[in-house]
Each structure stands twice: as structure tokens, then as C-alpha cells.
Amino acid sequence: MPETVTKTKATESPVSVADTSDASHMAASDERAALERDLMSTWRDLFGLLQSQAAPKWANLDVSMAQIKTLITLSDVRTATIGEIAAKLGIGLPTASHLVEKLVQLGLVERAEDPEDRRRAIARLTAKGDELVRQLRGSQHLGAWIPLLADDDLAALVRGLHALARAICATTAPKTGGEAAKSGATTTSEVPNTM
């Protein structure tokens, strides 16, 4: 009978290296999934906080949604011709021109002569327009919050945001160099790999 027990033990398969590797991979996968859930939850909370800071500005806003879209477009690209604004917003030239003119009257946008082609005008945000967009995005408070971070937390945040920007750039349709330069877009190669 002891011989049978010995044979049974001998035929039992020991835990293989592959099994421990699989278990370790599953644990790492579970840990990553938990980190991803935590990131998404924190992301929602962060933007909820930013929106709560911006909510009073949105409630008292006296511009149309089309004008807001124009302001945000100009904030993203810095300067644009009326044609570029029309193309980005998917509207006609007369509509884009009218939107820009209304924003000029409100002191939020300024028109200037295009240095490359004097027949065209370019539009850009005024300081007042830039500040309004920052308030609407809730980002005007970042300057006050960033100094509250410990140095290592700030470095980790910068590294993480750079990594996220690289991932976004890698998964979005690439722009030609000229388009990216005109729009002020960040290409994958322009996102620093530092920190």
C-alpha cells in the first residue's frame, strides 16, 4: 500500500514554472485593471471638481454655443483664418465671419492681417478671450493647485500626463507637419519623453 501512495505522489504533476508565470501574469493583469479603474474614477472626480469650479462662469455666460465653440477652437489653434475656423467647426465662411465679428465686438477675439497673405485676416483670442476659455475649462485654478503638490507627486503627474499625451497622439490620425504646425497640435515626436 505505501508503494501505491508513492506512485500516486509521483504521478501528481508539480506546479510548473509556466503555472507560476501564468499566476504572476494574472496578478499583474488584475493589478493593472484595478489601476485603470482607479484612474478612470479619479479622472471623473477631477473633471467634476474642475466643472464645479467653472459652473458659475457657465451659468452667467452671455455668448452663444457657436461663439463658445469658436473661442475654444481659437484657444486650441492660437490663430486661424476665417476659412480655417469654418472648416474646423463645419460651417460656412459667412457664418464663421459673423461669429468672429460678434466675438470681436465683445472684446474676446481680435482680427489681424495675415502676414503671409495680406488678403486674408487671421483671428486670435484677446487676453480677455483667453481668460474666459480658461475659466470655462476650469483651468485657471491649476496655477494655485500645482504648488500644493509634493515634488515627487508633481514629477509623477507630469510623467503620467506626458505618457497619456503620447498614447493619445499614437492613436489619433496623424496630421501632416504643415497642418500640425498651423494648428498648434502636438505630434507624438513633440511630446517630451522626459521625467
Out of 1.10.760.10, 2.70.170.10, 3.40.50.300, 1.10.10.10, which CATH number does the structure's domain 51-144 have? Answer: 1.10.10.10
C-alpha 118: how far from chain center: 34
pLDDT tens string for the chain (195 positions)? 455 544 445 455 555 556 667 777 777 888 889 989 998 998 888 888 877 777 777 777 889 999 999 999 999 999 999 999 999 999 999 999 999 999 999 999 999 988 888 888 899 999 999 989 988 887 767 778 889 999 999 999 999 999 999 998 998 865 544 444 444 444 434 444 433
Q: Where are the domains of the chain?
A: 51-144, 149-195
User: Whole-model pTM?
Assistant: 0.58
What's the maximum distance between 2 C-alpha atoms anywhere in the chain?
Answer: 102
C-alpha cell at 100: 468672429
Look up residue 185 and give its three cell numbers.
497640435
Partnered with residue 81 across adjacent β-strands are 122
C-alpha cell read off for 128 = 480677455
